[in-house]
């Protein structure tokens, strides 16, 4: 399969949420991918299972524009090893200044759509992640499927010093407003470009420019016109162009804005091209 047909990498592009190990698992040669992304400013490789951090670090190959998060994705909170996995997250956070660039906690959150694990188990895991983010003054990356009220409630109970991001935002403008009011960033993935996603575009329209992020969530959600392909960050040009058109600015301006927002959230990291 040709993973590079229609690839499009704007100079200095940022992906605030990708899963390098899952991309590799779909057969995309990650080393070649990252070579094609050499002009990127920042790629945030997000944890599903913290035990894969060494492998994800290896895939990044020491490139300064690739950084990582650590956390237990809600989809595996039903795993009998949950406690050990959260302890692994704690250990990785404690040693994050020893070499591996870990810049956020997550992804964590709640999923009442697929109900991977009972509600109380998911909520307890989410709260442990929020507590770690608070303690370490790191931003938190939040997965939310049909759990807006419970996530708002949990965020209200925890005063996060470094804010966070509602990743792959998939609700409407009213919900976006609630998370913005809590100080969160709102990140849109390729589904923003899908024909049926009018509610999502209405949400995009109300997010202030300085609270907006863009992501692949690769290997999922390839943007139009590549919908259905295995997604990866070298397709980001399609999403940035769509978002720039919608926001009535140029792709360069959108790249500049997302870069500045990503630095405000994740810190002064990544490449600073040009």
Residues that bind Zn ion (CB under 5 A): 217
Q: Toward Zn ion, which CB reaches closer, 19 or 251?
A: 19
Please say which residue, 111 or 251, places its beta carbon nearer to Zn ion. 111
Residue nearer to Zn ion on the CB measure, 146 or 256: 146
Q: Cβ 217 to Zn ion, closest distance in Å?
A: 5
Q: Which is nearer to Zn ion, 20 or 251 (CB)?
A: 20
Find the shortest distance in angstroms from Cβ 22 to Zn ion.
8
Q: Which is closer to Zn ion, CB of 52 or CB of 251?
A: 52
Q: How far is the CB of 47 from Zn ion (least distance, A)?
A: 9
Do residues 100 and 53 touch, judged by C-beta distance below 8 A?
yes
Q: How far apart are CA 236 and CA 268, in angstroms?
A: 22
Tell me if 195 sits within 8 A of 227, measured CB to CB: no
Q: How far is the CB of 154 from Zn ion (least distance, A)?
A: 18
What is the smallest separation between the CB atom of 113 and Zn ion, expressed in angstroms? 14
Kindly state the smallest distance separating residue 23's Cβ from Zn ion, in Å.
Answer: 11
What would you report as the CA-atom Rg of the chain, rounded to the nearest whole angstrom?
A: 17
The residue of the chain with the least Cβ separation from Zn ion equals 217
Both tokens of 142, joined, read 């939040």
Q: Which of 89, 145, 140, 86 is nearest to 115 (CA)?
A: 145
- Closest contact distance (angstroms) between CB of 139 and Zn ion is 15
In which element (H, E) is residue 40 found?
A: none
List helix spans (H) across the chain: 20-25, 30-36, 53-60, 82-94, 119-136, 148-157, 173-181, 198-206, 236-247, 251-266
Between 111 and 217, CB nearer to Zn ion = 217
Residue 218's φ and ψ, nearest 5 degrees, are -60, 145
* DSSP conformational letter for 88: H
**For 27, what's the count of Cα atoms within 13 Å in the CB-facing half-sphere?**
6
Q: What is the torsion angle, in degrees rounded to the nearest 10, for the CA atoms of residue 136, residue 68, residue 193 and residue 228?
A: -140
Residue 187 buriedness (CB in 10 A; 0-12 / 13-18 / 19+): buried
Nearer to Zn ion, 49 or 217 (CB): 217
């Amino acid at each position: 399969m040709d993973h590079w047909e229609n690839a499009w990498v704007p100079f200095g592009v940022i992906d605030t949420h990708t899963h390098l190990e899952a991309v590799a698992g779909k057969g995309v040669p990650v080393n070649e991918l990252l070579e094609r992304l050499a002009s990127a400013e920042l790629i945030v490789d997000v944890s599903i299972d913290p035990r894969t951090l060494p492998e994800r670090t290896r895939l990044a190959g020491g490139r300064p524009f690739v950084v990582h998060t650590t956390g237990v994705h809600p989809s595996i909170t039903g795993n009998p090893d949950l406690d050990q996995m959260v302890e692994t997250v704690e250990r990785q956070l404690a040693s994050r200044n020893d070499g591996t660039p870990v810049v956020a906690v997550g992804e964590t959150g709640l999923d009442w759509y697929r109900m991977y694990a009972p509600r109380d188990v998911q909520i307890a895991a989410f709260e442990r992640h929020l507590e770690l983010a608070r303690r370490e003054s790191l931003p938190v990356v939040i997965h939310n499927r049909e759990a807006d009220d419970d996530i708002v409630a949990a965020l209200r109970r925890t005063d996060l010093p470094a804010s966070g991001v509602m990743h792959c935002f998939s609700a409407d403008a009213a919900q976006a407003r609630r998370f913005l009011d809590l100080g969160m960033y709102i990140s849109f993935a390729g589904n923003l470009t899908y024909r049926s996603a009018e509610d999502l575009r209405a949400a995009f329209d109300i997010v202030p420019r300085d609270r907006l992020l863009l992501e692949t969530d690769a290997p999922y959600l390839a943007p139009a016109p590549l919908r259905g392909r295995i997604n990866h960050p070298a397709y980001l040009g399609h999403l940035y162009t769509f978002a720039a058109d919608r926001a009535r600015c140029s792709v360069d301006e959108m790249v500049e804005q997302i870069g500045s927002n990503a630095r405000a959230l994740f810190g002064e990291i990544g490449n600073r091209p040009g």
